[in-house]
Amino acid sequence: MIEAAAAVDDVMVNGPEDDLLDWQSIDCRAVEGEVRRSRQRIFTATQAGDLKKVCNLQKLMLRSRANTLLSVRRVTEINAGRKTPGVDGRAVLLAQENAELADWAQHCSSSWTPRAVKRAFIPKAGGKQRPLGIAVIADRVLQAWVVNALEPEWEARFEPKSYNFRPGRACQNAISAFYLTLKG
C-alpha cells in the first residue's frame, strides 16, 4: 500500500508501501510538484535529443507513486466528467476507494483488460449528435497515468504554432496567432 506521511506537512510520495494510504492526508501540492518536475525533465530531455534519457524518465514516471496519486485525483476529484459513470455504473468514489484505486493502479494494473465504453450522444448545432465514449474509472486512471509519461515528449516535438487538441491551447490562441501574423 501507499504511505502518505508521518507528519502533516511531510509527504512520502514514493516511500514505503507497507502502511495503508490515508487519502485525506496526501499533500496534493507536493504530489503535483513531483509530477510537474518529472514532466519537465522528460520535455527537456526530448528537446535535447537524448532519447535514452527520455525513455528512462518515462519508465520512472510510470513507476512513480506521485503520478499514480495525481492520476486518481484528476479522474475522481478534478475532471468535469468525474460524475459520469461508465458501463460499470461507478462514478464518484469515496476517499478510501480512491486510496484502493491508487494502490491497484500502482501494483495490480499490469493484468488489466480495458472495459467497453459507454456510448452517449451529445447534441450539436443543426440538430446533429456527436457520439461520446465514457470509459470506466479504472480505464480513465490508467489513461491519465500514461498521458503524464507520454505527453511531455510529444509536446516538445510538436510545432509551436499547432493548436488542435493540445493542453493549454484553444481556438482563441490560434485566432490570436493568426491575427498577429496578418497584422505584422
The pTM score is: 0.79
CA atoms within 13 A on the CB side of 120: 11
Q: Give per-residue pLDDT as tens, 7-19.
A: 334 444 555 455 6
Q: Which domain holds residue 142?
A: 23-183
182 compared with 5, residue with greater pLDDT:
182
pLDDT one-digit tens code per residue, 122-179: 999 888 999 999 999 999 999 999 999 999 999 898 887 787 777 778 888 888 888 8
pLDDT of 89 over the 80 cut: yes
With cut-offs at 50, 70 and 90, classify the pLDDT of residue 111: confident
Q: Decide if 2 is inside a domain.
A: no
Computed over every residue of the chain, the mean pLDDT equals 85
Domain total in the chain? 1
Q: Is the dihedral of CA 61, 140, 102, 168 positive or negative?
A: positive
Alpha-carbon distance of 61 to 101, in angstroms, equals: 18
- Which phi and psi angles does 40 have, rounded to 5°? -65, -40
Strand locations in the chain (E): 118-123, 129-134
In a domain? residue 109: yes
